[in-house]
């Protein structure tokens, strides 16, 4: 995606190409995206490890599932109120407000072990309660402006290159998904007790939140920004639901089933590595004639596994978007859905070894190959100027249905077995993938 330059068929697809495309964006969009990068870094440093943090603070597996469901609720309901706030106070101050709120959430996670347990009206409030409270704050910036991001790409990109446009922004943003967990793994390795070492991670996340908030407030000029006007209350939501392009409905059904399946088990991935397999990494690395002992706890090793997953994602997104221009969006999206669907059974049945875990999470990275094409397929049928509303409507429907998935997964994990939870999740994902393959429609610009 560029401003004033159209990529040609001779451009080489790859991560560096996507970065060049990204940094050609106009200044204000670039500032907004850089702020998104910083907050994504803070959130990705912390979010994937929070289930382990909850267990360390005394939560059960079912509580972990409820935590995932609360996250689903936030993802479903925050974007539209966020747009209303933007309408009321303007984009610049809305961004600053949401940055401050997210930073407060990181701080509440940091303070949680020191707050409880407390006795209130005869009831004991456990420290893990504050992790739930912190999530309501920390996810504010992450969930704000989802539709605006899609609308910017829609307006600035030729229809036949939407997937490449999304690959440019996603490659940049997903770099935070690579750096964050790896940085967290380094910090977690500084102390043998996870509840202590994770405090270092949370402290750094607070710093990132402060820096991101200040930077976006100082650098972002929203004097000509009208994106906030895309959200006009409940009447607009109802109208958008009625007017959703019919081409999106098969995609929405398949996507919702796949995401429901993923939501059932997503929060438990870290617990599979740290609690079921208890897989760390102990080896010796030779470099420049010197030998270094590597001894990673399971929690620290999980951070590096997430890094492997995202490294594969960064390598495949841009080439897959380029391939979509030749074979169409639907096959590429279906590939991503298929990896989403089968990953739970691959993980829960993998050998309990470091090498196996690296291969499993590398495989998981392939699901991101379909992400740019998926976004293009969502926003492609929308009329110019309405991409944000169409996207907001799509995600509102999908995320609302997905809300109970983690609680269901948590119930199966705690009261039946992890294996059953992961197997049922995979079955639901396969149904969703099959439905999309049979009924899904191609965006005509790629047909």
DSSP-derived secondary structure for 420-442: HHHHHHHHHHHHHHHHHHHH---
Q: What is the pTM of this model?
A: 0.85
At 230 the pLDDT is 46
CB-based contact 429:344 (threshold 8 Å): yes
CB-based contact 447:159 (threshold 8 Å): no
CA distance 407 to 270: 17
Using the 8-state DSSP alphabet, how is residue 13 labeled? P
Beta bridge partner(s), residue 294: 283
Q: Which long-range contacts does 361-364 make (Cβ < 8 Å, 24+ apart)?
A: 361/305, 361/306, 361/308, 361/309, 362/308, 362/309, 362/312, 363/339, 364/309, 364/312, 364/339
Cβ atoms within 10 A of the Cβ of 238, count?
Answer: 11
CB-based contact 346:360 (threshold 8 Å): yes
At 274 the pLDDT is 97
At 86 the pLDDT is 63
CA distance 365 to 376: 19
CB-based contact 227:145 (threshold 8 Å): yes
At 3 the pLDDT is 41
CB-based contact 74:136 (threshold 8 Å): yes
In a 13 Å sphere around the CA of 240, the CA atoms on its Cβ side amount to 24
In a 13 Å sphere around the CA of 133, the CA atoms on its Cβ side amount to 14
Taking the CA atoms of residue 354, residue 357, residue 363 and residue 368 in that order, the dihedral angle to the nearest 10 degrees is -110
Paired sense of beta strands 118-120 and 123-125, if any: antiparallel
- The domains found in the chain, sorted by start residue, are 15-219+231-446 (1.20.1250.20)
At 181 the pLDDT is 95
CA Rg value for the chain: 21
Average pLDDT of each block of 10 consecutive residues along the chain (447 residues)? 42 53 57 77 94 96 96 82 64 79 95 84 87 92 57 56 61 83 95 94 96 83 52 64 79 96 98 97 79 89 96 91 89 96 98 97 95 82 54 81 97 98 98 96 68
CA distance 287 to 88: 57
CA distance 137 to 54: 17
Burial class (CB in 10 A: 0-12, 13-18, 19+), 126: middle
Three-state secondary structure call for residue 363: helix
Q: Which two tokens stand for residue 97?
A: 């407000």
CB-based contact 56:195 (threshold 8 Å): yes
Q: What Å distances lie between residue 373 and 152, 203, 227, 378, CA to CA?
A: 16, 36, 23, 9
């Amino acid at each position: 995606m560029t401003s004033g330059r159209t990529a040609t068929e001779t451009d080489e697809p790859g991560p560096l190409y996507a970065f060049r495309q990204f940094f050609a964006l106009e200044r204000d969009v670039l500032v907004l995206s850089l702020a998104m990068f910083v907050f994504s870094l803070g959130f990705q440093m912390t979010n994937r490890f929070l289930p382990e943090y909850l267990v360390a603070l005394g939560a059960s597996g079912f509580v972990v599932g409820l935590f995932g469901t609360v996250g689903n609720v936030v993802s479903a309901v925050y974007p539209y109120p966020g747009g209303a706030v933007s309408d009321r106070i303007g984009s610049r101050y809305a961004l600053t407000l949401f940055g401050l709120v997210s930073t407060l959430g990181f701080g509440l996670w940091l303070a949680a072990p020191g707050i409880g347990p407390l006795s209130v009206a005869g009831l004991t409030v456990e420290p893990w309660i504050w992790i739930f409270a912190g999530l309501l704050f920390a996810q504010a910036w992450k969930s704000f402006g989802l539709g605006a991001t899609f609308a910017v790409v829609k307006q600035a990109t030729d229809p036949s290159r939407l997937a490449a446009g999304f690959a440019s922004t996603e490659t940049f943003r997903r770099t935070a998904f690579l750096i964050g967990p790896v940085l967290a793994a380094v910090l977690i390795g500084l102390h043998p007790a996870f509840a202590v070492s994770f405090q270092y991670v949370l402290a750094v996340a607070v710093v990132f939140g402060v820096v991101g908030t200040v930077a976006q407030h100082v650098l972002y000029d929203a004097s000509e920004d009208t994106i906030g006007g895309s959200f006009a209350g409940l009447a607009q939501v109802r109208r958008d639901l009625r007017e959703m392009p019919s081409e999106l409905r098969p995609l929405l059904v398949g996507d919702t089933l796949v995401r429901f399946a993923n939501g059932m088990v997503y929060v438990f991935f870290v617990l599979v590595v740290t609690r079921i397999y208890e897989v760390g990494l102990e080896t010796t690395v030779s470099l420049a004639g010197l030998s270094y002992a590597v001894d990673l706890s399971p929690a620290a090793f999980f951070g590096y596994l997430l890094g492997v997953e995202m490294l594969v994602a960064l390598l495949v997104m841009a080439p897959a978007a380029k391939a979509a221009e030749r074979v169409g969006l639907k096959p590429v999206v279906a590939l991503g859905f298929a990896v989403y669907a089968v990953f739970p059974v691959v993980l829960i049945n993998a050998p309990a070894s470091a090498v196996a875990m690296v291969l499993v999470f590398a495989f998981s990275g392939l699901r991101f190959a379909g992400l740019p094409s998926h976004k293009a397929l969502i926003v492609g049928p929308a009329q110019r100027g309405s991409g944000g509303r169409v996207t907001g409507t799509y995600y509102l429907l999908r995320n609302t249905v997905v809300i109970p998935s983690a609680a269901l997964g948590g119930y199966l994990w705690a009261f039946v077995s992890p294996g059953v939870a992961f197997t049922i999740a995979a079955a639901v994902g396969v149904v969703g993938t099959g439905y999309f393959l049979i009924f899904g429609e191609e965006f005509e610009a790629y047909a």
